Amino acid sequence: MAETFLDQLKITADSIQEASEGRLLSGAHVSVELPIAPIRYLYSGWQSWSLTAWVEMGRPLGPMRPSSLPAMQTDPAYAGETRPHGSWYGAVEMPDGQVLLLGGLGLESHVMLQGQILTGWVEAGEAEWFVGCGNEDVIFEQYAGLLKQNFGSGRAQKSLRVWCSWYSLYSGITEARLLKILGDLGDLPFDVFQVDDGWQMTIGDWEPNAKFPGGMDGMAASIKVTGRKAGLWLAPLLVVPSSGLYQEHPDWLLRDGHGRPVSAGFNWGEQLYALDTTHPGVLDWLRALMEKVRGWGYEYAKLDFLYAGALPGKRSVDMPREAAYRQGLKAIREALGEAYFLTCGAPVLPSLGLCDGLRVGPDVAGFWASHRDEDLLMNTATPGTRNAIRTTLQRLWLKPLVQTDPDVTYFRSRLNDLTAEQKQLLQDLAQIAEFKASSDVPAWLTESEQAALRLFLESNPGVLKMGRNSYELDGRGVDFGAQIDLPPLPGPFTNLMGAVLGGLANVPFLMRIFNALEKRDLGKRLAENPV
């Protein structure tokens, strides 16, 4: 059936070769003309948090709001595109259920559907492509195998069970709080205790702040005494204006054609900028930073906001942007040595072969969905459990190439608005992805919740895929399909309110006020809920 359908396709490329389950193409521009109209398109997001989902044909996906944030959430080069498109690959579902995939086998490749024609192109140079048609799982397995030949795969054989500070304490971590939690974890079978954002002086100045008087080496030593690996979060490809790095090395910044620093978004109450990973000074600095982290005693590195290294811009060495990112990642990988390397906020294909784990969805949260973000701002890349599950499910085909991180699970009811069913979906997804993490503070768990967490960490259920969004875990059916639909399109009034809100979010002064209010609220929550 698939072979017959393949023969009906009109394929345009510089060369076409037979391949298992499909065809191999070459050319800077290729196209595949379909004999009939598809019913769904698979959007493939650029980086960890970017939307990846099957969407009904005719269902528009307009530009996300606010316009100041696409650099943080999608590929800014295509942020305004409303036609079905995606990074590296695109797929369509035909009326008979067959799936046709056009996938790039190299960097800087993009796919778009125009009418009944799938078009692929690269931003620089020539390219190779795979076209396959038939069963979705079989086609993506073939695509993964070809990518493995070109990029390699992660080195880690065993998945690690991680306790991460972010989803309970956020930036409110202190040495005292973490040491208290570390002791309260007791013999809960976590392999890694990972310190997240909040320990550093500022973004770009990666030294411990006053909240960690014992230093980061002292923190690592305390973690290792418990028999766990010490983990640390950094965002090494970002820099903010308040940092010493920004002031001392302006020549290290990625710049646009007019010589202005390229925006990498807005966070921590400041404008974010990107480091140029082709600059020899930046590469040396990255190596030294990773060696310092290893010297402190950390064997698990979660590196975040890595998209900054692949943003469009003018670099000191002229090379394609994803190749430049990969060059920076290679320097990091070499300096980390045998440490486990988890990438987050990372361009997906350019990270393959250089990292052990990859976040494959947006951040989870203690709520299911945000009316502000999903309805008013039409933004599916923001933190939220539904957003995280939706995108993660469609990236599990990457498992032969890298450990797929779906983000943390929740067991606590305190400071959590998720229903029991929604928490169970997150837990089931972690079992399917084979990547288990939690941020739950022991003092916030009831006895039954702590027992459930222990059982989760110790369990290893048999997983059988039954459909695109359905599985069996030890014979128990799990269906995510009804839970991950895209939110309905906003009506005129909602759209107007979203446009106003999106405009306000583009004002740095207002964003700084919002950041300050979030910090105040976090401090209040932690004071009312001690660890």
Among residues 381, 313, 307, the alpha carbon closest in space to that of 350 is found at 307
C-alpha span between 486 and 492 (Å, rounded): 18
**CB neighbours (10 Å) of residue 80?**
11
In three-state secondary structure terms, 320 is coil
C-alpha span between 487 and 189 (Å, rounded): 38
C-alpha span between 258 and 329 (Å, rounded): 27
304 catalytic per annotation: yes
Choose, from 304, 373, 407, 440, the residue flagged as catalytic: 304
363 catalytic per annotation: yes
Are 75 and 46 within 8 A, CB to CB?
Answer: yes
In this structure, what token pair is assigned to residue 516? 């300050």
Strand partners, 102: 90, 131
Q: Give φ, ψ of 13 to 5 degrees.
A: -165, 165
C-alpha span between 410 and 507 (Å, rounded): 34
Length of the chain: 531
Taking each helix axis from N to C end, the angle separating 447-458 and 420-433, rounded to the nearest 10 degrees, works out to 20
Taking each helix axis from N to C end, the angle separating 280-296 and 321-336, rounded to the nearest 10 degrees, works out to 30
In three-state secondary structure terms, 413 is coil
Q: Give φ, ψ of 450 to 5 degrees.
A: -65, -35
Choose, from 197, 276, 363, 440, the residue flagged as catalytic: 363
Instruction: Please identify every residue annotated as catalytic.
Output: 304, 363
